[in-house]
Structure 1
Amino acid sequence: MKHKFILTALLSISLLSCAQEAPKVKHAKNMNMPKENLKNVKVVNAEDPVCHMKTADYLKFTATYKNKVYGFCSASCKDEFNKNPAKYVQN
């Protein structure tokens, strides 16, 4: 019985250590927010590549990387993306 408990504990710890944690981005309120959503802007993503929020309905920020336009839910996410775009873009 003791071996099952130890095995279960070790398995749980190993599974938790392998899980990737989403980046912690603070979505600041009223931080240089555009007054209106962008309209007629074609982006290559339906969700923010940094925080994974859906952006299609309320796209406010964009950045271009390798001739592709990416949409973001906030300036914080856009800034985080611009620090290291390759981290967030799947090739």
Structure 2
Amino acid sequence: MKIFILSILLSVSALSCAQEAPKVKHVSKMKPATDLKNVKVANAEDPICKMKTADYLKDTVSYKGKLYGFCSDHCKKEFEKNPEKYAKNAK
């Protein structure tokens, strides 16, 4: 019984230490001011919320010579706060 309780406590503590992805609030359903359908970006998915950029590309930002695409202005602003963190994890 002690081993069972200990294993549950260890599982809970291990899961609580896992890094959680930032919670993104997608508010706007407005279309972008420019047509971004034919824009080639370095990432296949938004590095913040993991939405596919091909389907939801609304904004871009250039970082270290690469163009990164985002599904919203909110995700773009999150990227700009710490671009090094998100650029190395971009897919």
**TM band (smaller chain):** 0.7 to 0.9
SS at match of 2:41: coil
Q: Which runs of 5+ in 1 are unaligned?
A: none
Residue number among 42, 47, 51 corresponding to 1:53 in the alignment:
51
TM-score of the pair, normalised by structure 2: 0.82
TM-score of the pair, normalised by structure 1: 0.82
Residue 30 of structure 1 and its aligned partner are, at CA, apart by: 4.4
Structure 2 counterpart of 1:88, one-letter code: Y
In 2, Cα distance between the equivalents of 1:75 and 1:39?
17
- What corresponds to 1:25 in structure 2? 24
- What corresponds to 1:12 in structure 2? 11
Residue 34 of structure 1 and its aligned partner are, at CA, apart by: 1.0
Structure 2 counterpart of 1:69, one-letter code: L
Q: Going by fraction, where is helix more abundant, 1 or 2?
A: 2
SS at match of 1:69: strand
Relative to structure 1, the CA distance from residue 43 to residue 68 in structure 2 (aligned partners, 3 Å threshold; closer, same or farther) is same
Residue 87 of structure 1 and its aligned partner are, at CA, apart by: 1.5
In 2, Cα distance between the equivalents of 1:10 and 1:37?
51
Residue 36 of structure 1 and its aligned partner are, at CA, apart by: 5.9
Q: Confirm or deny that 1:77 pairs with 2:75.
A: yes
Residue 35 of structure 1 and its aligned partner are, at CA, apart by: 4.8
Q: Which moved more, 1:53-62 or 1:6-15?
A: 6-15
- Divergent runs of 4+, >3 A: none
